[in-house]
Amino acid sequence: MTPEEYRRYLCLRRPKEPIMIKTYNMDDVGTRIEHMSDLQDIWSGGLAMLLSGTYHAPQELDQVKELEIALKLLENHMTHAYSDVKYAKDINDLPIDPRDIKDNKEKP
């Protein structure tokens, strides 16, 4: 679908038609989670800088509160569908002796 066709589709769509939005989680492989992790690092660094001094202006305290809330929301979004059970099953299925682990890669 070309960009022009997509714009035409958006204009013709009924206003109350539901739009499906897919959310992703930590099980995704790709750059989205990497970007979210980078954002979390940047926000955490900013929070540490705001809390490092001894004197805090009222505006800094408001910024600290906003950053803490944003970090909690970001962490919740990244881990909302994360499940340790799947990984625990994979680990429990591994043989005790590491020499018994077979490489599942196809050989050319």
Res 108 pLDDT > 50: no
Burial class (CB within 10 angstroms; exposed 0-12, middle 13-18, buried 19+) of 3: exposed
The angle at the Cα of 90, spanning 81 to 39, to the nearest 5 degrees, equals: 40
Backbone angles phi, psi at 82, to 5 degrees: -75, 135
Digit-coded pLDDT (tens) for 10-37: 666 555 555 565 666 655 666 777 888 8
Residue 85 has pLDDT above 50, yes or no: yes
Q: Tell me the pLDDT band of 69, cut-offs 50, 70 and 90.
A: very high
Are the CB atoms for 75 and 40 separated by under 8 Å? yes
**Nearest Cα residue to 74 out of 20, 27, 28, 35:** 35
pTM above 0.95, yes or no: no
- What does the alpha-carbon distance between residue 16 and residue 30 come to, in Å, rounded to a whole number? 33
pLDDT band for position 44 (50/70/90)?
Answer: very high
Span 88-93, average pLDDT: 84
Domains of the chain, residue spans:
28-79
What is the Cα–Cα distance from 90 to 73, expressed in whole angstroms? 29
